[in-house]
Amino acid sequence: MNVQNKVAQLASTDRDWWRGAVIYQVYPRSYQDSNGDGIGDLPGITERLDHIASLGVDALWISPFFKSPMKDFGYDVSDYCDVDPMFGTLADFDALIARAHALGVRVLIDLVLSHTSDAHPWFAESRADRTNKKSNWYVWADPKLDGTPPNNWLSIFGGSAWQWDTQREQYYLHNFLTSQPDLNFHEPQVQEALLDVARFWLDRGVDGFRLDTINFYVHDKELRSNPGLEPHERNNTIAPSVNPYNHQNHLYDKNQPENLAFLRKLRAVMEPYNAAAVGEVGDAQYGLEILGQYTAGDDLMQMCYAFEFLANDRPSAREVADVLTKVADVAGDGWATWAFSNHDVTRHASRWAMDDSGLRMMATLMMCLRGSACIYQGEELGFGEAEVAYKDLQDPYGIEFWPEFKGRDGCRTPMVWENSNQNGGFSEASPWLPVAPEHLARAAAEQEDDPEALIHHYRRVIALRKAHPALAKGGLKNLSVEDDVLRFERHLDGDRLFCAFNLGETPAMVALPDGTWAGVGDDVEAQAPDAGQVHLPRWAMSLARAV
| Start-to-end C-alpha separation, the chain | 49
- Tens of pLDDT along the chain (547 residues)? 344 344 335 444 789 999 999 999 999 999 999 999 999 999 999 999 999 999 999 999 999 999 999 999 999 999 999 999 999 999 999 999 999 999 999 999 999 999 999 999 999 999 999 999 999 999 999 999 999 999 999 999 999 999 999 999 999 999 999 999 999 999 999 999 999 999 999 999 999 999 999 999 999 999 999 999 999 999 988 999 999 999 999 999 999 999 999 999 999 999 999 999 999 999 999 999 999 999 999 999 999 999 999 999 999 999 999 999 999 999 999 999 999 999 999 999 999 999 999 999 999 999 999 999 999 999 999 999 999 999 999 999 999 999 999 999 999 999 999 998 899 999 999 999 999 999 999 999 999 999 999 999 999 999 999 999 999 999 999 999 999 999 999 999 999 999 999 999 999 999 999 999 999 999 999 999 999 999 999 999 999 999 9
- Domain shared by 429 and 536, yes or no: no
How many angstroms separate the CA atoms of 374 and 363, rounded?
Answer: 11
- Domain shared by 362 and 497, yes or no: no
Domain finish residue from 463, 494, 517: 463
- Domain shared by 481 and 425, yes or no: no
How many angstroms separate the CA atoms of 94 and 411, rounded?
Answer: 28
How many angstroms separate the CA atoms of 544 and 497, rounded?
Answer: 6
CA angle 48, 52, 54 (to 5 degrees): 110
Write the burial class of residue 280 (CB in 10 Å: 0-12 exposed, 13-18 middle, 19+ buried): buried
Residue 420 domain flag: yes
Options 76, 212, 379, 409, the catalytic residue: 212
Domain finish residue from 438, 463, 488: 463
Q: Which residues does 261 contact at the CB level (< 8 Å), separation at least 6?
A: none
Inter-residue contact 440 to 466 (CB < 8 Å): no
Other CB atoms within 10 Å distance of the CB of residue 144: 11
Residue 103 domain flag: yes
Task: Encode burial over 496-510: b for 16+ CB neighbours within 10 A, e otherwise.
Answer: bbbbbbbbbeeebeb
Options 41, 72, 110, 280, the catalytic residue: 280
- Domain shared by 440 and 481, yes or no: no
Q: What are the distances in angstroms from CA 123 to CA 134, 154, 180, 413?
A: 8, 21, 10, 32
- Domain shared by 407 and 509, yes or no: no
Q: Which residues does 509 contact at the CB level (< 8 Å), separation at least 6?
A: 533, 534, 535, 536
Please give the model's pTM, rounded to 2 decimal places. 0.96
Residue 138 domain flag: no
- Domain shared by 278 and 356, yes or no: yes
Q: Which residues does 54 contact at the CB level (< 8 Å), separation at least 6?
A: 459
How many angstroms separate the CA atoms of 410 and 430, rounded?
Answer: 17
Residue 526 domain flag: yes
Residue 521 domain flag: yes
* Residue 493 annotated in active site: no
- Is cis: bond before 240, omega within 30 of 0? no
Residue 446 domain flag: yes
- Domain shared by 455 and 487, yes or no: no
Domain boundaries, position 32? 3-116+188-463
Inter-residue contact 481 to 425 (CB < 8 Å): no
- Domain shared by 453 and 487, yes or no: no
- Domain shared by 96 and 196, yes or no: yes
- Domain shared by 417 and 501, yes or no: no
Residue 143 domain flag: no
* Residue 525 annotated in active site: no
Residue 182 domain flag: no
- Domain shared by 440 and 508, yes or no: no
Q: Which residues does 312 contact at the CB level (< 8 Å), separation at least 6?
A: 236, 346, 351
Nearest to 176 by CA among 198, 204, 154, 202: 154
Query: Distance from CA of residue 328 to its chain's centroid?
Result: 21
Nearest to 497 by CA among 530, 466, 481, 475: 475
Domain finish residue from 441, 463, 485: 463
- Domain shared by 229 and 362, yes or no: yes
How many angstroms separate the CA atoms of 38 and 29, rounded?
Answer: 9
Is the C-alpha dihedral spanning 156, 162, 163, 168 positive or negative?
Answer: positive
What's the number of domains the chain is made of? Answer: 2
CATH code, 221: 3.20.20.80
